[in-house]
């Protein structure tokens, strides 16, 4: 009786322990990668990305004093990174694309309008193709994008 209970207990521990190990290992790797990218784009400590937010493997970081913005998407095999010097930008807005038939949001982009060149730069913040379960992350990503659009616009206008 004691042997079978011990064996069942060990099997349950293994079943629970292996997925937890992979989750924690993935978190450590992502944190190291984010820290490395922060150091890389700080440009010799010129930018201090003290205000940042991480959600659904997306990172938005801003330095409101030096006016630097860093957008990271770690959902790809090769992470997508966009660094924007907000001193050279006139405006930031969200571009939301909806599907024709269902009126559901299929992608959310940050659009940056530059001062001198009338050039615009887009950063793909949400893509339905990248949402593995199908619009599960949409609500959270949309709220995060709206919040950061106002933060970025306030930083640009100062």
Q: How far apart are CA 8 and CA 122, in angstroms?
A: 53
Distance of CA 128 to the CA centre of its chain: 15
Q: How far apart are CA 127 and CA 145, in angstroms?
A: 13
Using pLDDT thresholds of 50, 70 and 90, give the confidence band for residue 15: very high
Where in 14-75 does DSSP place strands (E)? 51-55, 58-63, 68-73
Choice between 106 and 15, residue whose per-residue pLDDT is larger: 15
| Tens-place pLDDT, residues 51-98 | 888 888 888 999 888 888 998 888 777 888 888 888 889 989 999 888
| Tens-place pLDDT, residues 100-156 | 777 788 889 999 998 888 888 888 888 877 776 666 778 888 899 999 999 999 988
Q: How far apart are CA 129 and CA 68, in angstroms?
A: 29
């Amino acid at each position: 009786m004691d042997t079978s209970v011990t064996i069942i207990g060990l099997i349950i521990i293994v079943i629970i322990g292996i997925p937890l190990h992979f989750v924690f290992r993935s978190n450590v790797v992502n944190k190291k990668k984010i820290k490395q990218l922060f150091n890389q784009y700080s440009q010799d400590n010129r930018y201090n990305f003290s205000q940042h937010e991480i959600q659904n493997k997306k990172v938005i970081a801003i330095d409101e004093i030096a006016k630097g913005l860093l957008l990271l998407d770690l959902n790809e095999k090769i992470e997508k990174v966009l660094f924007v010097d907000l001193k050279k930008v006139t405006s930031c807005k969200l571009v939301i694309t909806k599907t024709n038939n269902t009126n559901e949001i299929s992608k959310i982009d940050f659009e940056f309008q530059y001062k001198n060149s009338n050039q615009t730069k887009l950063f793909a913040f949400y893509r339905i193709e990248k949402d593995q379960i199908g619009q599960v992350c949409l609500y959270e990503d949309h709220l995060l994008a709206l919040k950061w659009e106002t933060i970025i616009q306030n930083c640009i206008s100062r």
